[in-house]
Amino acid sequence: DADVTQTPRNRITKTGKRIMLECSQTKGHDRMYWYRQDPGLGLRLIYYSFDVKDINKGEISDGYSVSRQAQAKFSLSLESAIPNQTALYFCATSDFTGGRIDNEQFFGPGTRLTVL
Amino acid sequence: GQSLEQPSEVTAVEGAIVQINCTYQTSGFYGLSWYQQHDGGAPTFLSYNGLDGLEETGRFSSFLSRSDSYGYLLLQELQMKDSASYFCAVPHSSASKIIFGSGTRLSIRP
């Protein structure tokens, strides 16, 4: 079974709709991240969370919100989807071993979102 | 702020060697990572350099020069399956997250 899973894998929606993307992990990691990928722009961080009570904005958080329901679950919501939010969305996790700088993240398979 | 620069595309021949460069600007430096991403797939971790020098893992090697704010990924004995995008990444100065470069698309010709 995959360590990091995302649902749905593909979604087509209309402008103005509310969308939720879900991420679950079995790696036991505390840190979870949501990224957006657009062609030629690499991965851009939307939100990240270090534990259930710790949520932080990334570089492109406008128009998005998140919920960390449990250590293993981190959801991304688009309250009112717009066409320029069409992109590939990745969830990732990482471990933290007391002072060591994170240098490896584990990614889910991605969700391809199209907003018409 | 922090930024990374890497070429957008590189083309090489099967069986050859290719080097993908990455230069970075950071306020505080903790190391340079490389990730591979095949079309339609998720990024996967390849290597990490925390200190200057060369790290070798099979056909892949990664190099870091902190004084030059520069690193590279070296792929040897190229195979068609190495066709993918390669991203360099650095931890943010707060050490709380990772900043990714825009990626280098490697195309391999037979």
User: Which residues are paired to B5 by β-bridges?
Assistant: B23
* Per-residue confidence (pLDDT) for residue B28, from 0 to 100: 73
Under the banding of pLDDT at 50, 70 and 90, the label for residue A2 is confident
Q: Band of the pLDDT at A95, cuts 50, 70, 90?
A: confident
Distance CA B8, CA B3 (A): 15
CA neighbor of B22 nearest in space, from B10, B34, B13, B36: B34
pLDDT band at residue A97 using 50, 70 and 90 as cut-offs: low
State the CB neighbour count (10 A cutoff) for residue B8. Answer: 10
Which chain A residues contact residue B33 at CB under 8 A?
103-104
Q: How confident is the model at residue A88 (pLDDT cuts 50, 70, 90)?
A: very high
Separation in Å, CA A69 to CA A61, A75, B59 = 19, 8, 41
pLDDT at residue A90, as a whole number: 98
Q: Angle at the Cα of A10 (from A1 to B35), degrees rounded to 5?
A: 60
**Whole-number Cα distances in Å, A30 to A10, A46, A49, B39:** 26, 17, 8, 28
Average pLDDT over residues A75-91: 97
- Please tell me if residue A63 touches chain B, with a CB cutoff of 8 Å: no
Q: Which amino acid is at A61?
A: S
**Residues in CB range of A70: below 8 A, 6 or more apart:** A52
Kindly list the residues from chain A whose CB atom is less than 8 angstroms away from the CB atom of residue B96: 48, 50, 56, 102
Q: What's the confidence (pLDDT) of residue B27?
A: 75
> Distance between CA atoms of B34 and B22, rounded to whole angstroms?
10
**Residue A68: pLDDT above 80?**
yes
pLDDT value of position A102: 58
* Chain A nearest C-alpha distance from B47 (Å): 8
Residue A47's pLDDT band (cuts 50, 70, 90): very high
CB contact under 8 A, A58 and B41: no
A107: nearest CB among B8, B43, B101: B43
Residues of chain B with pLDDT under 50: none
Quote the mean pLDDT of chain A: 91
Report which secondary-structure segment, H or E, holds A51.
strand A43-51
**Minimum CA–CA partner of B1 in chain A:** A59
Greatest Cα-to-Cα distance within chain B, rounded to the nearest angstrom: 44
- B44 inside 8 A of chain A by CB: yes
pLDDT digits (tens, 9 = 90+) for A8-40: 999 999 999 999 999 999 999 989 999 999 987
Instruction: Give me the pLDDT at residue A1, please.
Output: 63
Q: List the beta strands (DSSP E) in chain B.
A: 3-5, 9-13, 18-25, 32-37, 44-49, 53-57, 60-65, 70-75, 84-91, 98-100, 104-109
Question: CB distance from A41 to chain B under 8 Å?
Answer: yes
CB A16 within 8 A of CB A93: no
Q: What CA–CA distance (Å, rounded) separates A5 from A26?
A: 9
Residue A43 touches chain B, beta carbons under 8 Å? yes
Between A77 and A98, where is the model more confident? A77
Residues of A in contact with B99 (CB under 8 A): 45
Contact criterion met (CB < 8 Å) for B100 and A33 = no
pLDDT for the residue numbered B26: 81
> How many CB pairs below 8 A link A and B?
55
